[in-house]
Structure 1
Amino acid sequence: MARIPVVDQESCISCEVCTHICPEVFRMTGGEGHEHTHGEHKSEVYNPTGAPEAIIEQAMDACPAACIYWQD
């Protein structure tokens, strides 16, 4: 059974690192349209099995807020 990544929305600093490393799993959400102020959007998991776990781990390791983890 594949592990499911989760983003702690309260801790997310909207850096978008995860979406650049693994856009198949993570996306930014929270505001309207493409023009937004930094911090307005938060990362979310929209496709938890969209990439190999190794790529998801890279996004987790690169997150400066350490807000991405595996669901228990």
Structure 2
Amino acid sequence: MAKYLYLDQDECMACESCVELCPEAFRMSSAGEYAEVIDPNTTAECVEDAISTCPVECIEWREE
């Protein structure tokens, strides 16, 4: 099974830590209300740091 990067936008508190740690995988929404995954199939090495740093634990790998 393939895995993909998931970010729960309802739980996101817009702290921007994932964007700062891994800008190749995350960006802020146009209104700045939450972070977004740029590419769910990313292979960026910094993703794990973003996952472990998220204060509300709203980023995870999911399986299709």
TM-score, normalised to structure 1's length?
Answer: 0.75
- Identical amino acids, percent of aligned pairs: 42
Residue number among 41, 51, 61 corresponding to 1:60 in the alignment? 51
Query: Which of structure 1's runs of 4+ aligned residues deviate more than 4 A?
Result: none
Q: Which runs of 5+ in 1 are unaligned?
A: 32-39
Q: CA RMSD in A?
A: 1.7
TM-score, normalised to structure 2's length?
Answer: 0.83
Q: Which has the higher strand share?
A: 2
* Equivalenced residues, count: 62
Partners of 1:66 and 1:44 in 2: how far apart? 14
Q: Quick check: which has more Rg, 1 or 2?
A: 1
Could you say if the C-alpha distance between residues 57 and 69 of structure 1 is closer, same or farther in structure 2, counting changes exceeding 3 Å? same
